[in-house]
Amino acid sequence: MKKHIVIVGGGFAGINLVKSLVNDNRFIITLVDKNNYHFFPPLIYQVATSFIEASNISYPFRRLFSNYKNVQFYMGSLVRVIPETKTIETDNGKLDYDYLVLALGTESNFFGMENVQKCALPMKTIDEALYLRNYILLTLEEAARNKSIKEAQKLQNIVIAGGGPTGVELAGMIAEMGQYIAEKEYPEINRSFSNIYLIDALPVLLSPMSKIAQEAAYTKLQKLGVKIILNVAVKDYTDAKVILADGRVIETETLIWTSGVIGREVKGLPEESIGKGRRILVDAYNKVQGLDSVYAVGDICLQMTEETYPKGHPQLAQVAIQQGKNLGKNLKRIEDEKILVPFRYNDKGSMAIISKFNAVVDLPKFSFKGFPAWLTWLFIHIIPLVGFRNKIRLAFDWLRLFITNNPSIRLILRPKKSNT
């Protein structure tokens, strides 16, 4: 009988697992996701800042799977896993499995700060990015109408919590938008009241990257006018005031949260299977500890069996991609009754864009920055996009936008059902 593989989550890990198993007649694969599309998270900040359309970095699952005979899509959110009956429950029904793969990824971690969770603006999903885009544009419109100097600071200040790649890229993009766009299109706004703050509890920006990358990011963002505050964490956010751990207060209507992630909750797993950061503990073959036929890949899993990464692998796209591919090979080897291959991460480096024509790239043996790094960043971020049309559209959009400095998609769209 054909084995039914249920994969929950259509991110990098889930998609690459599917691709490694397509057209193998021994398996029927069902991908479960609450969205009907795969998207490319590294570029989501460009959607949030009106630089590119969400469709440039998204692709429908059903279109992606249309030529795969043994793959089907099931739209729904995971409610719980029932290992005893090899079943999962979703908000749209139940599914039985022979093998279950959890690839749900992570969500924003607010570290128990209720006010921050309630009022800050996260940016982990397409929905959140589009909401943030609308929010920024609406706030600019309000600032343009504002006649009170007292309110100007709150409306025009933007605070970004988190100095990792996303925070750095977002700060650089917003700073350049202020230089190239706000001055021309919002003449009513007094830009002397506008400030962009980038805050991180660590002593450096881009902490996982090289010293070259850290210094380049700090220097360039300062030149763009970003106010960088390090060694201080955000403690609270209330009454339009960001309160820092050292007592400083920044008045703002906009707190963007990129400060950390936590594994998505999976109900039904035993407590001993959950590790630090709510990540699911797995062995060297990505099998969940304490369970049979249940696996976890990507950001949600915590694998501490590799000597080089005793505290677990970094939550990066390359780890997820490689784990998905390796698990696909191992599921085939299980059916072939062959010895399984333990996962070993091949570090291909990391990168971040700081501003127009300026990026930093860390490769395993050396690092570089500036325009060559920016070209590398551009090339690397087009290759993984799903769909030839997406690659071409994004390449042409980038070319036009980087030349003109004037994205034209700053539309405030708030869809709702009409009463007429």
Query: Can you give the CATH number for the domain in which 330 is found?
Result: 3.50.50.60
- Res. 131: pLDDT tops 70: yes
Per-residue pLDDT of 217-228, as tens digits, reads 999 999 999 999
- Res. 147: pLDDT tops 90: no
**Residue-level pLDDT at 404:** 65
User: Which range, of 146-160, 200-214, 400-414, averages the lowest pLDDT?
Assistant: 400-414
Per-residue pLDDT of 165-174, as tens digits, reads 999 999 998 9
Q: How confident is the model at residue 377 (pLDDT cuts 50, 70, 90)?
A: confident
Going by the DSSP 8-state scheme, the letter that residue 204 receives in this structure is: S
Q: Are residues 249 and 222 in the same domain?
A: yes
**Residue-level pLDDT at 309:** 95
- Separation between Cα atoms, residue 411 and residue 393, nearest integer Å: 19
More confident position, 186 or 309: 309
Q: What is the mean pLDDT of residues 50-64?
A: 89
Q: What is the mean pLDDT of residues 97-126?
A: 96
Per-residue pLDDT of 329-357, as tens digits, reads 999 999 999 999 999 999 988 989 888 78
Count of structural domains within the chain: 2
Q: Of 259, 276, 299, at which residue does a domain stop? A: 259
Q: Are residues 201 and 273 in the same domain?
A: no
**Residue-level pLDDT at 106:** 96
Q: How confident is the model at residue 183 (pLDDT cuts 50, 70, 90)?
A: confident
By percentage, how much of the chain surpasses pLDDT 70?
94
Q: Are residues 104 and 179 in the same domain?
A: no
Q: Are residues 230 and 192 in the same domain?
A: yes
User: Which range, of 17-21, 160-164, 302-306, 400-404, averages the lowest pLDDT?
Assistant: 400-404
Domain contains 98: yes
CB atoms near residue 233 (< 10 Å):
16
Q: Of 259, 277, 298, at which residue does a domain stop? A: 259
Domain contains 149: yes
Q: How confident is the model at residue 211 (pLDDT cuts 50, 70, 90)?
A: very high
**Residue-level pLDDT at 415:** 65
Domain contains 414: no
Q: What does each C-alpha distance from 85 to 33, 72, 94, 160, 270 come to in angstroms? A: 21, 22, 11, 45, 15
Q: Are residues 234 and 325 in the same domain?
A: no
Q: How confident is the model at residue 203 (pLDDT cuts 50, 70, 90)?
A: very high
- Res. 411: pLDDT tops 80: no
- Res. 135: pLDDT tops 60: yes
The answer to whether residues 53 and 239 touch, using CB atoms and an 8 Å cutoff, is no
- Angle (CA) 166 167 170, round 5°: 80
**Residue-level pLDDT at 419:** 57
More confident position, 290 or 383: 290
Q: Are residues 253 and 118 in the same domain?
A: yes
Q: What is the mean pLDDT of residues 190-194?
A: 82
- Separation between Cα atoms, residue 230 and residue 246, nearest integer Å: 11
Q: 16: buried, middle or exposed (CB in 10 Å: 19+, 13-18, 0-12)?
A: buried
Q: How confident is the model at residue 1 (pLDDT cuts 50, 70, 90)?
A: confident
- Angle (CA) 73 75 78, round 5°: 115
- Res. 420: pLDDT tops 60: no
The answer to whether residues 301 and 286 touch, using CB atoms and an 8 Å cutoff, is yes
- Res. 191: pLDDT tops 90: no
- Res. 153: pLDDT tops 90: no
- Res. 271: pLDDT tops 70: yes
**Residue-level pLDDT at 403:** 65
CATH number, domain of 183, equals: 3.50.50.100
**Range of the structural domain that residue 125 is part of:** 114-259
Q: Are residues 121 and 252 in the same domain?
A: yes
The answer to whether residues 256 and 166 touch, using CB atoms and an 8 Å cutoff, is no
Q: Are residues 89 and 181 in the same domain?
A: no
User: Which range, of 39-53, 98-112, 120-134, averages the lowest pLDDT?
Assistant: 39-53
Kindly report the average pLDDT of the chain as a whole number: 91
Using only the alpha carbons of the chain, give its radius of gyration.
Answer: 22
Domain contains 409: no
The model's pTM: 0.92
**Residue-level pLDDT at 179:** 78
Q: Pull the structure tokens for residue 162.
A: 């988190």
Q: Are residues 218 and 300 in the same domain?
A: no
- Res. 55: pLDDT tops 60: yes
Domain contains 362: no
- Res. 251: pLDDT tops 60: yes
Q: Are residues 235 and 267 in the same domain?
A: no
**Residue-level pLDDT at 77:** 97
Q: Of 319, 336, 353, at which residue does a domain stop? A: 336
- Res. 405: pLDDT tops 90: no
Domain contains 377: no
Domain contains 71: no
Q: Are residues 273 and 162 in the same domain?
A: no
Q: How confident is the model at residue 365 (pLDDT cuts 50, 70, 90)?
A: confident
Q: Are residues 128 and 241 in the same domain?
A: yes
- Reported residue count of the chain is 420
Domain contains 237: yes
- Res. 122: pLDDT tops 90: yes
Q: How confident is the model at residue 389 (pLDDT cuts 50, 70, 90)?
A: low
